[in-house]
Amino acid sequence: MNYYQLETVSQKGRRQCREYVYHAIEGEVENPFKEVVHQSILGTAGFVQWARQMLPRKGQREVPLLTKLQHDISVERILGIVAKAGNAAAEDLRDRKTKHKDLRQMAMELCYRYSNYKQKKNGAIFGLDYRSVSQSPARLKTKLKSSRKLKKQFHRIREHIDKVSNSKI
């Protein structure tokens, strides 16, 4: 590539950037940052998967965002694992009137920890507003402190989800 071709590429890039900004100002462009995954990756699903595979596997405990990226798993998979561990159906965990309240709270917490969904989207899955979803971890924590059996069950489920999510990388 010669100097003239580089200059042409550079001019084309500036023109495209200028057009993009004008379209954004006019409201014709959707906010691209709505699609950011775990506050750090913007791109197609294939690119996000590639970026996750490029992450270092060890020594990143002090960088929570990297840990979360390493453990991304689908909500459906989490619901399935939690339901199976509690001898329930995944649909039961979505239902507000379920008899599996503890499992439902565990599923909400684990979906928040391991999926790319924020509280608002998790709330939609469980039929709650984001404020109720944000209060759920405190309620679960209280239950786990008072019930050794529940705490063991939660940790077993979480370890299983850790293994499943790590195997994807």
* Sign of the torsion angle spanned by Cα atoms 133, 137, 143, 147: positive
Give the Cα separation of 104 and 24 in Å (integer).
41
Q: What is the pLDDT of residue 73?
A: 79
Q: Domain spans of the chain?
A: 3-58, 71-167
pLDDT of 70 reads 53
**pLDDT exceeds 50 at position 168:** no
- In CATH terms, 71-167 corresponds, of 2.30.29.30, 3.40.50.620, 1.10.1750.10, 3.40.1190.10, to 1.10.1750.10
CB 89 within 8 A of CB 83: yes
Sign of CA dihedral 145, 146, 152, 158: negative
Helix (H, G, I), strand (E, B) or coil at 143: helix
- In tens, the pLDDT along 44-81 reads 778 877 777 776 655 555 555 555 555 567 889 999 99
**Mean pLDDT of the residues in the chain:** 79
Q: What is the pLDDT of residue 56?
A: 62
The pTM (predicted TM-score) of the whole model is: 0.59
